[in-house]
Amino acid sequence: MTRTSGLLAATLLATTALAPMATAETLRWARAGDSLTLDPHAQNEGPTHTIAHQIYEPLLIRDMTGAFEPALATSWAPSPDDPNVWVFTLREGVTFHDGAAFDASDVVFSINRAKTEDSDMKELLTSIVEVRATDPMTVEFVTDGPNPILPSNLTNLFIMDEDWANANGAVKVQDVEGGEETFAARNANGTGPYTLVSREPDVRTVLEQFPDYWGKNQFPMDVTEVIYTPIQNAATRVAALLSGEVDLIQDVPVQDLTRVAGTDNLEVRTAPQNRVIFFGLNMGAADLESDNVEGANPLADARVRQAMNMAINREAIQQVVMRGQSQPAGMIAPPFVNGWTAELDQAKTDVAAAKALMEEAGYGDGFTIQLDCPNDRYINDEAICQATVGMLAQIGVTVNLDAKPKAQHFPLISNKTTDFYMLGWGVPTYDSEYIFNFLVHTTEGDRGSWNATGYSNPDLDAKIKSLASETDLDARNDTIAEIWEVVQAETIYLPVHHQVLNWGMKAGVGIDVDPEDQPKVKYISMN
């Protein structure tokens, strides 16, 4: 841990300790990292969406089983008159936190805003050519060909108040990667169950229950106040739970599971997560910035990528680093996702074969490269990177590890300024198209924004685009399988494992672990 992160952790614990002790109506909640922004369309990132779900709402969400549940829309279906149109009926009687009425114009505004260049949500909306309000409570989505899975793309697409955005200069999506600060990044006005009271990035966010929330009588709504505190340091985070200073932590370190579970009045609740942890490789550059090879890019050689993949001992990471709390992965799709197969999700460790591939590729003496890794985003992220450094050294790849907070790490990927990096990917649509659009498609227009590998395959791009309008689901699944075959053969990414979630909480906090790692406070009962 760096001196800076240690000071931050101490500050956060002191901040938490100075607050009055929790009451039955206050939820004190902590996790390793903070939301990156309050702008609901600026970052497609788990903790950011998690906070947004308390304040804003999408048209529909998924329940704990993955089934759709109405939110701001009460029903949705393809138009009987036009297969290229989806019709959404909106919920009556909904108001924003400032008292303004919610209607179809807010949906049209929000979808169009989320389709703009700086939005990190635009890949989800690539098939939409028009969104229109046919009356105050009905919205039609016109797609470029029939799109059978359009609703799946909307579960994290939050609706803003058009008038509020216009009045506060918040029409434009925040450019997070460019370091832009905007009104919407620090302020919020949603229709959700909780309103924003105060926001100190990386320190504390306070929310209070919205008295006019439309679902007040439909959900437990036991929590009247939320105090959210990001605590990066694992020991400090656990200490806050053990001492009673927080009621819920989302990421119990694997080394502390037994300790937390064995403490009176505390519980650990566990579930597989819809997320894969993997490494990305900049194979597209002519020469790398961080290596010691002049005039060439060793990662451009598929044999080098295959060798690095074979050098990673996922079972060792599972047992030693994760204490059994992971599932080794051979593909960058979780088992929840359409397109995943057990056959593809296999990875073999073979150091001797990896060395032979390195020799064959002309890198028998190895090379040096930098690995960029977050230290506050995924479970044991920095420790996984440290273990991987040692494994790659066995095949002559000397890795210089640079671990930093996610707020500094993610821009390296989105700005394409990293050669070798860790990333984790959840799939809220439960479909492979989501992975392909963000991570495999060539970076251009409204696709490929998280593909920092430089990989570009026009034939594959065409197949990816076809998925949005293929209504024959068997044919669509065949195309998905064809794309995965290429992705696996090219070794575009080095999968590590599927995450397992461990939430720690006071025994009286009634909540099930969400596979998306997104607790929605309105469902929590406090006993």
Nearest-angstrom CA–CA distance, 238 and 256: 8
Superfamily of domain 55-175: Dipeptide-binding Protein; Domain 1 (3.90.76.10)
The predicted pLDDT at position 527 comes to 87
Going by pLDDT thresholds of 50, 70 and 90, the confidence category of residue 1 is very low
**Would you say residue 5 has pLDDT above 90?**
no
Q: For the stretch 308-344, what's the b/e string if a residue is b when 16 or more beta carbons lie within 10 angstroms of its beta carbon? A: bbbbbbbeebbeebbeebbbbbbbbbbebbbbbeeeb
**Least confident stretch, 14-28, 68-82, 208-222, 390-404:** 14-28
The predicted pLDDT at position 19 comes to 44
Contact 114, 157 (CB under 8 A): yes
Secondary structure class of 88 (helix, strand, coil) = strand
Mean pLDDT of 122-149: 96
Nearest-angstrom CA–CA distance, 348 and 414: 30
Helices 381-393 and 302-311: angle between axes, nearest 10 degrees: 110
Helices 3-18 and 234-242: angle between axes, nearest 10 degrees: 20
Secondary structure class of 183 (helix, strand, coil) = helix
Mean pLDDT of 266-279: 96
**Would you say residue 9 has pLDDT above 60?**
no
The pairing of strands 204-209 and 194-200 is antiparallel
What would the pLDDT profile of 405-432 be if each residue is shown by its tens digit? 999 999 999 999 999 999 999 999 999 9
- The set of residues, in sequence order, having a beta carbon less than 8 Å from that of 447 and lying 6+ positions away, is 123, 126, 437, 438, 441, 461, 464
The predicted pLDDT at position 66 comes to 81
The predicted pLDDT at position 12 comes to 39
The predicted pLDDT at position 24 comes to 52
**Would you say residue 85 has pLDDT above 80?**
yes
Enumerate long-range contacts of 66-74, CB under 8 Å, 24 or more apart.
66/336, 66/430, 66/515, 68/151, 68/155, 72/102, 72/107, 72/159, 72/191, 73/139
**Would you say residue 3 has pLDDT above 50?**
no
**Would you say residue 14 has pLDDT above 70?**
no
The predicted pLDDT at position 55 comes to 98
Going by pLDDT thresholds of 50, 70 and 90, the confidence category of residue 504 is very high
Residue 426 sits at the vertex; the CA angle it makes with 387 and 517, to the nearest 5 degrees, is 90
What would the pLDDT profile of 452-477 be if each residue is shown by its tens digit? 999 999 999 999 999 999 999 999 99
**Would you say residue 43 has pLDDT above 80?**
yes
Intervals of CATH 3.10.105.10 along the chain: 272-500
Nearest-angstrom CA–CA distance, 339 and 39: 32
Residue 45 sits at the vertex; the CA angle it makes with 144 and 275, to the nearest 5 degrees, is 90
**Would you say residue 93 has pLDDT above 50?**
yes
**Would you say residue 386 has pLDDT above 90?**
yes
Mean pLDDT of 292-317: 98
Going by pLDDT thresholds of 50, 70 and 90, the confidence category of residue 17 is very low
Going by pLDDT thresholds of 50, 70 and 90, the confidence category of residue 121 is very high
- Computed over its alpha carbons, how large is the radius of gyration of the chain? 23
* Global pTM value: 0.89
Mean pLDDT of 105-125: 97
Mean pLDDT of 186-204: 97
The predicted pLDDT at position 63 comes to 83
Mean pLDDT of 215-237: 96
Mean pLDDT of the chain: 94
Which of 449, 398, 444 minimizes the C-alpha distance to 423?
A: 449
**Least confident stretch, 7-11, 388-392, 476-480:** 7-11
List the structure tokens of 370. Answer: 């930098």
- Counting Cα atoms < 13 Å in the Cβ hemisphere of 245 gives 17
The predicted pLDDT at position 65 comes to 77
Mean pLDDT of 476-499: 98
**Would you say residue 10 has pLDDT above 50?**
no
The predicted pLDDT at position 460 comes to 98
Superfamily of domain 272-500: Dipeptide-binding Protein; Domain 3 (3.10.105.10)
**Would you say residue 7 has pLDDT above 80?**
no
Identify the residue whose tokens are 């009286």.
Answer: 508
**Would you say residue 514 has pLDDT above 80?**
yes
Intervals of CATH 3.90.76.10 along the chain: 55-175
